[in-house]
Amino acid sequence: MTSNFDVIPDDVSSYRIREYWNQRYSKEPSNTTFDWFKTYKDLKPSFDEHLQNKDVSILMLGCGNSTLSEDMYDAGYHNITNVDFSAIVIENMQTRCIDKVGMSWLVMDIRDLKFPEETFDVIIDKGTMDALMSDEGNVWDPKPETVENVKRAVDQVVRVLKIGGKFIYITFGQPHFRRKYLERPCWDIDFKKLGDSFHYFFYFMTKKVA
């Protein structure tokens, strides 16, 4: 069952609050799915370009009830760890994907990942950090709280990503608004534009020794 996402909160800052998502997921059937931005079918050419080895260990940040992990699993990526700070959606997804051996689901905040350093080959964020930016204010001069929240998330990515590993970030955010959040000494930022009338962006960064 696909969510029509008709209900938009009165305050978009709700998107970064755990209670909002717990309430939302508790009201939806457990088999509901919703994909921010693009589906795996749309992203497959870009993934194929950057992830030639399907045995890589993948961390999916803020998985929600997206079909992305399931579709990637069906495509041969079987070592996927999914995290979300909503215990309700994690429980739903564990049940939904019980047959997908090797894929795990953990309750975790992307700003405080509970993994050792250099654990994953690939880390994917499809719209999760955008939720942290939902109330950033002036995009040219964002709120300090927003800057700090996103900094914590990206710093955690750097910490748990292996040297030579890839960080992939899918967003509608244009480079002149997103680069300031992503810039780190350990990687260069590359991106490609997706879509026709409304553009999305596929950022990819490879961790090197800083």
pLDDT of residue 21: 60
DSSP H helical ranges for the chain: 18-27, 40-50, 68-74, 87-96, 128-132, 144-160, 175-182
Q: Tens digit of pLDDT for each residue in 126-148?
A: 989 988 887 777 888 888 988 99
92 or 36: which carries more pLDDT confidence? 92
Q: With a threshold of 0.85, does the pTM exceed it?
A: yes
Q: Tens digit of pLDDT for each residue in 13-39?
A: 556 566 666 677 677 766 776 776 788
pLDDT of residue 94: 94
Q: What percent of the chain has pLDDT over 90?
A: 66
Query: Which residues, at least 6 apart from 113, have a Cβ–Cβ distance to it below 8 Å?
Result: 59, 83, 156, 159, 160
Q: For residue 77, which of 104, 49, 57 has the smallest C-alpha distance?
A: 57
77 or 28: which carries more pLDDT confidence? 77
pLDDT of residue 168: 98
pLDDT of residue 32: 73
Architecture of domain 12-206 in this structure = 3-Layer(aba) Sandwich (3.40)
Give yes or no for residue 111 having a pLDDT over 90.
Answer: yes
